[in-house]
Copies of this chain bind each other. A is one copy, B any other.
Amino acid sequence: MTGKRPTSFDIAALAGVSQATVSRALSQGGVVSEAVRQRVVDAAAQLNYTVDVNARKLRSKKINTIAVLISEDMDKTDSPINPFFMPMIGSILKYAGSKGYDVLVSLQKQSDNWGSDYGHARRADGIIFLGYNDYDTYTKKVAVLGEMGEPWVLWGPVIPEHPNLVIGSDNEGGAYSAVKHLIGLGRRRIAFLGEPSASHLEYKERFEGYVRALTEAGITPDPELMIDCFISREDGVAAIERLMSQGVAFDAVFAVADLLAVGAIQQLLRAGRSVPKDVSVMGFDDLWVCTCTSPMLSTVRQDTTEAAHVLVDALDVLISGHPVELKRIPTQLIIRESCGG
C-alpha cells in the first residue's frame, strides 16, 4: 500500500553522491564530510527516507533487538501476565529503547520449545526471561541456549550453583527484615503464607528469611502457622479462613506475595478482625495495588526499575561478548498502614 519506498540510490541521486556515501552518512560510525552528510540528510528528509532495517540487519549482522519472553500465567484468567512484571516490562521497554534496542515481547507457555527461536532466527541479539520461576523447568531450557552461545538473562532466584546470568531480589534478606519488623511491633504469632512447591526457590528463600527472624528473636517457628498457598488473592482469603476455622491464634501475617496479603486483609476484615490493631499484615513485591487497599499494605519492595536496568545492562554486556556475574538486588521495607505501631 505504501507505493514505492525510496532507497539509498534515490537519495544518492538527489544528493549527487554515491549510494555508499548515503549509507555512510546515515549510519553511526560512517566517515563523511560534514557538508556531504548535510546534503544527504536533507535529501533523505525531502524524500521521506528511512533506512530499511531488514536490509541493514541482514548486511551488517547487527540486529539491535532484544526479545523479552514472558512465561504465560495459566492461573490467572483476567490477564495472562503476572502483575508483578508489568512495571518491570515497562521499565525494560523504556530503558532498552533508550539504549537503541528494539524490543520484541512474546508470551510463552512454559512447556513450549520456544526461546531458542528468537536468537537463532536472528530476530534478537539476546533474550530476557521473565516469570520462569519453576527451577526444574527452566534450567533445561536455558541450557540449550547456553550451548548455542545465545546471550540471555533470567529474573529469578539467585543461587550460586545456578548456571550464571540470573538476576533477582534479595529474597531472604527482604523477608527477614519484614518479619523482624513485625516482631519489633510485639507480634509473636506470625503466620506464613507461601508457595509450597520446592522448585519455586524464590519463595523458599523468603521462607528462610522468616525462619531466621523468628529464630533470632527466640521464637520457635510453629508449623500450624504455615499455610501452603498458590500466589493469588483467593488463596490469601482461603488461608485466613483456614487459620480461623482451625482456631489457630495469630497476631500477624507475612505473605510471600502481595496478592496473598490483599486477600488476607479482605478476609480478616470480613471476619471482624481489625487490621492492624488485631492483626498486622505484611506482603512482598510492592505491587501497585498496595496503596489501594484499606488499610494500605506494608510490604517488601522489589525494585522493578532497578531490575529492568540491571537485566538490560547485563544482556548488553553479554551481547558484546563479555562475561557477567549473577546479581542480587536489594529489597526495601515499605511500611504502610497494615502493620500498625
A interface with B by C-beta (< 8 Å): 1-3, 5, 48, 50-55, 57-58, 63, 70, 72, 78-81, 83, 86-87, 89-91, 93-94, 97, 102-107, 117, 119-123, 148-151, 233, 262, 265-266, 269-270, 288-289, 291-294, 296, 321
Q: Are A93 and B107 in contact (CB under 8 A)?
A: yes
* Interface CB pairs A-B, < 8 A, 22: A2-B119, A2-B148, A50-B117, A50-B120, A50-B121, A54-B54, A54-B122, A72-B94, A78-B87, A79-B86, A79-B288, A80-B90, A86-B86, A90-B107, A93-B107, A97-B106, A97-B107, A102-B104, A103-B106, A233-B291, A288-B289, A293-B294
Chain B residues with CB below 8 A from A94, complex form = 72, 80, 107
Given A93-B105, A103-B104, 14 new contacts (CB under 8 A): A2-B149, A2-B150, A48-B120, A53-B122, A54-B54, A78-B87, A79-B288, A80-B91, A80-B93, A90-B107, A102-B123, A104-B105, A289-B292, A293-B293
**Which of B93, B104, B121, B321 touches A52 (beta carbons < 8 Å)?**
B121
Chain B residues lying within 8 Å of A107, measured Cβ to Cβ, are 90, 93-94, 97
Measured between C-beta atoms, what is the minimum distance from A340 to chain B in Å? 16
In whole angstroms, how far apart are the Cα atoms of A270 and B90 in the complex? 33
| Contact yes or no, B321 A1, CB < 8 A | yes
Complex CA distance for A233 and B290, rounded to whole angstroms: 12
For the complex, give the distance between the alpha carbons of A3 and B61 in Å. 13
Given A54-B122, A57-B54, A148-B2, decide whether A292 and B97 contact each other with a Cβ distance below 8 A. no
CA distance in complex: A120, B47 (Å) = 12
